[in-house]
Amino acid sequence: MSTPLVLEDLEVSLTRDDGGRQGRPLLSSVSLSVDPGEFVALVGSSGSGKTLTAMSCLRLLPPQLEITVGSIRLDGLDLVRATEPELNTVRGGRLGMLFQQPKRMFNPNRTIGHHLREPLRLHGGLRGPKARAKAVELLEEVGFSDPVRGFRAYPHQLSGGMAQRAMTALALAGQPEMLLADEPTSALDKVLERQVLQLLDRERRERGLGILYITHNLASVAAYADRVLVMNAGSIVEAGPAHELLIRPKTAYARDLLAAAQLAPESRRRPSSAERDVLVLDGVGKRFGPRRKPGGAALDDVSLSLRHGEILGVLGQSGSGKSTLAKAIVGLDAASAGTITRQLDGAEAQRPTAVQLVFQEPHSAFDPRMTLRASLRAPLLPRRGLTPAQREERIAAALAEVELDAGLLDKRPGQCSGGQLQRATIARALLLEPQVLICDEATSALDALTQRTILNLLLRLQRERNLSLIVISHDMDVVRYMCDRVAVLLEGRVVEVAETRDFFAAPRHPHSRSLVAASIPCRADGLWTMLDARNHAARAGLERQAAEG
Amino acid sequence: MLQFITKRTATLLAAVAVSSFAVFLIPYVTPGDPVRKIIRSRVAGDAVDESAVRGLAESLGLNDPLAAQYLRWLGDFFTGDMGLSFVSRTPVAEQVLPALTVTLSLVAMSLALAAAVALPLGIISGLRPGSMADKAITAVTQAFIAMPEYWVAPVLVLVFALKLSVLPTAGWNDLSSAVLPALTLALRPISFFTSAVRAGIIDAAGADHVAAARARGLSHAQSILRHVIPNGLVPLSTLFAVWFAGLLGGSVIVEVIFAVPGMGRLLFDSVINSDIPLAQGGVVVVVALAVGVTTLADFVHRFLSPTVGDSLA
C-alpha cells in the first residue's frame, strides 16, 4: 500500500502583490523521490532551499511564496493540486513532519498529551480514553521512562532531548508513510542526536517509514542515509548512494561541503605546559535561587586554569553548566562561590573588558534596531581618550580583521546572515583588545561551511594576537579541531581535564567515554568505520529489543 | 504551585498592611489636630475648650503609642467597625458597603461590555493585521482613548436621554439607569482591550507551533481556534484585573455626572467634606479589593500560562 513520495520539476517563486512572479525562483527544477523504507538525506548550506522543499511537500509555504511549476505525488494524489481538505488529511497523516527546535514547535500553554490527541483524533479517529492510551503508548515507544507523566507534562518541563522525542511521537501519531525530518537533531548534543536518529531508523526498519532527512550534519548522513541529495541555491546539484557520494563527490560544491565537515586538526604550535596561567578558577560554584535542592547547583566546585596562548575546550551536554561558566568568567553573572583570578599584563589588563565573550546566537547578540556601526561603537564610547575618528578607525580595523566588508556597517542585524553576524560579534569582542576570548557555542547555530570559516578565523586571530581562548561547545568535532586541552563538564562539575589527543584516544571518565563514543568520526575517509557504526547500532538495537521482549 | 500561592498571598497581605498603615496615618499628617477637628465639627464657634481636647484625646486613646493605635484601628476595621462619619455621624461601614455594591455592579457591567466588544474586534483585527477591517477597528477604538468621560457622558445623555428619551439621565434605580454610566466607563477599556487582544493574537499567530499544528493536519480554522485564540487572550487576564482595580475608585467622574451613589462619589465627597473616617474606610476597602483582584488575576494567568510560575520559582 505504501508508495513513494515523488517531486517532479518543482519550482517555487516569490509572488508579487499583483500575482506576477518576482525575481529568480527560490527552488527550480527540484526532482526527488523517497521510497518506503528508504532513508534519504538532503544536505546543503543554509539558505539552499532544503526546508523550503519540505514545506512545499506539506503545502505550508509562507503566503508570499508559491509553487509555480511541478508536481508532488504521494499515492496518486498530486499535492500541488490537492484541495485544502485533502491536504489536511495528508499533513500529519500520511506525510509527517519533524521540526528542528522542538520546544518552539509546542504550544507552551498545552500539555504534551493535548498535542498528541490532535493527530490521533484527526487521522486515527481516536478520542477520550482510547486516544489517551494510544498517546501514552507512543510516548513509551519513543523512550519516555514515565510516559504517563510525559503525557501530563507541559513542553517547558521537558529537556531538549525529551522534547524532541515527544515531537517524534507527535509526528508518528498519524501513522505516516513518509516523514520529513527538518534538522531534527541540530539543537541536540551528540548523545541525544544519536538516540533520536536510532529511533527514526527503527521506524524505517520496522514499519517501512520513508524518511527525507534534512541536515547539516554529514556524519549522521554517513551513518544512516541510503541516498544523499545535495542542494545548492534552490536546485539539487548532485544525488547518489551515500557511500559513493560521500567518498567521491562529483561536483565542486559537494566537495566543499564535505571538506568543511571534515574538521581535521590543524598543525598548530601547542603552547608548552610551562606557559604562565592567565586565568585561574578555584572552586567556582553557582546556584540559582536559595531554594534549590543540594546538588542542584549549576556549577559546583569548578577549578580550571587557562594558559597563555592556549585554546581550552569545555565540553558538556545541554544543561551541564557551560554557559553559566562562561558568564561567570566574564563577570556577566557573578559566581556564588570560589574565586576567578586574572593574571594578565599590558595596559588593558586591569580593565574588566580584558576577557571578552563571543555569544552563541549571533542574531540575538545584537540590538535589532541598531545598525552594526552603532552596535560596534557602543563598547568604545566609555573610552574617553578616543576621538570619533579614532573610534571609526578601530571599528574599521576590527572589521578588516574578521574579513567583513565595511558596507555592512550600515545594515541592521535582520539584513545580515548568521555568518556575517557571528563575524561581527567577534569584531565587537576584539574592539576592546581582549587577552582572553570565551566562545560560547560560537558556531553551533551555523551551517558546516560557515562554521569552518569562523573556526579558522578564530584560529588565525588566536595566532596573530596571541590570545588565550576558551571554546565552549557540545560539538566534539569543533573541540577536536580547535583545542589544546579539553575539560568535560557534567552537571556543573569538571569530571575530566586532558590534552585533546589523549582525551579522544582514551577518555577516562565514563561520561567522557560516552561523549567520545557518540561522536561518530566526521571524516569521509572513515566512512566504512561509520557504516560499521551503523550496523553496530542496528545490532545493539535488535539485541536490546530481544533482551526486553 | 503551592509555593506560588503562598508567595502571592504573602505579597497581597503585605500590600494591604502597608497601604492600610498609610491610610491610618492620614489624620496625623494632614494639617490640624484631629481632636480639634472633631470638636469643631460639633460645636459652633471658634473657641475650643482645652480640657475638652485633652479629655477627648484620652478617651479616644490618642495618647497611646502609634503602633498600638494602628493595631486597634486595624482590628476594629476588619471586625466591621470602621468608625463614625464626621459628617453624618452614622457608622462608616453602613455607607461604604452600599456604595461598594453599586460600584461593583457598575464596574462589572462596563468591563463585561468592554470585553464583549473588544474580544471580537481584537480577534478580527489580529487575524488580519493591515486589512481594511483592522485599520477601521484600530482607528475607532484608538479614538476612544482621546474621549474624556466628562465629554462622552454629556453627549450620551444628550442623545439617548434627551433626544431619544429612551434612557434616564441620571440616578441609580433599575438596569436602564445603569446603561449610560456603564457605556461611558467602557469606552476606554474597549480601546485598551482591543489593542491588547490584537497584539496577543498577532503574536500567537506568528508562533512556530501554529505552523507545526498545521503540519499535524489541523485546518486553518482549527489551528486558530485551538492554538491562536486561547494563547492570544492570555495577556488579557492581567489587563482586565488592572482595569477592574482602577475603576473601583476611579469611576468618580462618571458617578458624579450620572448621580450614581458609588465608591468614587463617596470618596470624592469624603475628601471635600474632610470626612476622615469615611475616606479611610473607603480607601482601605478599595485597596484591599484591588489588590485581591490583581492577585486573583495572577492565579488565573498562572493557570492559563503554565510557564509563568515555573520561571519565577
The pLDDT tens digits for A438-476 are 998 887 777 777 777 788 888 888 888 888 999 998 888
Position B192 scores a pLDDT of 93
Q: Is the minimum CB–CB distance between B215 and chain A shorter than 8 Å?
A: yes
Contact A284, A339 (CB under 8 A): yes
- ipTM of predicted assembly, 2 dp: 0.76
User: Could A92 and B216 be called an inter-chain contact, meaning their C-beta atoms sit closer than 8 Å?
Assistant: yes
User: Looking at the predicted structure, is the pLDDT value of residue A527 above 80?
Assistant: no
Higher pLDDT residue, A414 or A93?
Answer: A93
Higher pLDDT residue, B177 or A21?
Answer: B177
User: How confident is the model over B165-186, as a mean pLDDT?
Assistant: 83
Q: How far apart are CA A386 and CA A490, in angstroms?
A: 44
Confidence of residue A521 (pLDDT cuts 50, 70, 90): very low
Q: Please name the residues in contact with A20: beta carbons below 8 A apart, sequence gap of 6 or more.
A: none
Q: Provide the chain A residues 4-63 that lie in CB contact (below 8 A) with chain B.
A: 58, 60
Position A264 scores a pLDDT of 53
Quote the minimal CA–CA distance from A114 to chain B in Å: 10
User: Could B208 and A105 be called an inter-chain contact, meaning their C-beta atoms sit closer than 8 Å?
Assistant: yes
Instruction: Give the percent of chain A with pLDDT over 90.
Output: 24
Tens-digit pLDDT profile for residues B34-69: 677 667 666 655 666 778 778 877 777 777 788 888
Position A136 scores a pLDDT of 94
Quote the minimal CA–CA distance from A256 to chain B in Å: 32
Position A362 scores a pLDDT of 79
- Chain B partners of A99 at a C-beta cutoff of 8 Å? 208, 212, 215
User: Looking at the predicted structure, is the pLDDT value of residue A533 above 50?
Assistant: no
Higher pLDDT residue, A295 or B67?
Answer: B67
Position B133 scores a pLDDT of 93
Confidence of residue B312 (pLDDT cuts 50, 70, 90): very low
Higher pLDDT residue, A347 or A541?
Answer: A347
Confidence of residue B311 (pLDDT cuts 50, 70, 90): very low
User: Could A90 and B234 be called an inter-chain contact, meaning their C-beta atoms sit closer than 8 Å?
Assistant: no
- Rounded to 5°, the CA angle B217-A28-A49 comes to 55
- Chain A partners of B3 at a C-beta cutoff of 8 Å? 291
- Nearest CB neighbour to B216, from listed A84, A119, A291: A119
Position A134 scores a pLDDT of 93
User: Looking at the predicted structure, is the pLDDT value of residue A545 above 80?
Assistant: no
> Would strands A311-315 and A485-490 be described as parallel, antiparallel, or unpaired?
parallel
Q: Is the minimum CB–CB distance between B304 and chain A shorter than 8 Å?
A: yes
Its pTM stands at: 0.69
Q: Which of A293-302, B70-79, B226-235 has the lowest mean pLDDT?
A: A293-302
Quote the minimal CA–CA distance from B242 to chain A in Å: 22
Give the mutation candidate from A64, A89, A104, A107 for the B interface (greatest B CB count, under 10 A).
Answer: A107
Confidence of residue A272 (pLDDT cuts 50, 70, 90): low
Position B24 scores a pLDDT of 83
Q: How far apart are CA A486 and CA A471, in angstroms?
A: 9
Q: What is the mean pLDDT of chain A?
A: 83
Higher pLDDT residue, B108 or A475?
Answer: B108
Contact A442, A280 (CB under 8 A): no
Which three three-digit cell numbers place residue B305?
500560562
User: How confident is the model over B274-291, as a mean pLDDT?
Assistant: 86
For B45-174, where are the alpha helices, taking DSSP H only? 50-59, 66-78, 92-127, 132-145, 149-156
User: Looking at the predicted structure, is the pLDDT value of residue A532 above 50?
Assistant: no
Alpha carbon A60 to its chain's center: 23
Position B43 scores a pLDDT of 63
Helix, coil or strand: residue A434: coil
Position A534 scores a pLDDT of 46
User: Could A101 and B208 be called an inter-chain contact, meaning their C-beta atoms sit closer than 8 Å?
Assistant: yes
Position A248 scores a pLDDT of 84
Q: Cell match 574565586: residue?
A: A339
Quote the minimal CA–CA distance from B120 to chain A in Å: 22
Position A35 scores a pLDDT of 92
Position A318 scores a pLDDT of 75
- Chain B partners of A291 at a C-beta cutoff of 8 Å? 3, 313
Quote the minimal CA–CA distance from B126 to chain A in Å: 17
- B-chain residue closest to A116, CA distance: B216
Position A263 scores a pLDDT of 55
User: How confident is the model over A7-24, as a mean pLDDT?
Assistant: 77
- Chain B partners of A54 at a C-beta cutoff of 8 Å? none
- Nearest CB neighbour to A122, from listed B208, B218, B305: B218
- B-chain residue closest to A87, CA distance: B217
Q: How far apart are CA A228 and CA A39, in angstroms?
A: 9
Quote the minimal CA–CA distance from A286 to chain B in Å: 17
Tens-digit pLDDT profile for residues A188-216: 777 778 888 888 999 999 989 999 999 87
- B-chain residue closest to A99, CA distance: B212
> Would strands A65-74 and A5-15 be described as parallel, antiparallel, or unpaired?
antiparallel
Position A531 scores a pLDDT of 42
User: Looking at the predicted structure, is the pLDDT value of residue A529 above 50?
Assistant: no
User: Looking at the predicted structure, is the pLDDT value of residue A155 above 70?
Assistant: yes
User: How confident is the model over A303-322, as a mean pLDDT?
Assistant: 87
- Nearest CB neighbour to B305, from listed A60, A109, A291: A109
User: Looking at the predicted structure, is the pLDDT value of residue A524 above 80?
Assistant: no
User: Looking at the predicted structure, is the pLDDT value of residue B185 above 60?
Assistant: yes
Long-range contacts of B114-120 (CB under 8 A, 24+ apart): B114/B186, B114/B189, B114/B190, B114/B193, B114/B243, B115/B193, B115/B236, B115/B240, B117/B186, B117/B190, B117/B194, B118/B189, B118/B190, B118/B191, B118/B193, B118/B194, B118/B197, B119/B193, B119/B197, B119/B233
Q: Which of A90-99, A293-302, A384-393, A484-493 has the lowest mean pLDDT?
A: A293-302
Burial (CB count <10 Å: 0-12, 13-18, 19+), residue A196: buried
Position A520 scores a pLDDT of 52
Position B138 scores a pLDDT of 92
Position A530 scores a pLDDT of 44
Tens-digit pLDDT profile for residues A218-236: 878 888 899 999 998 889 9
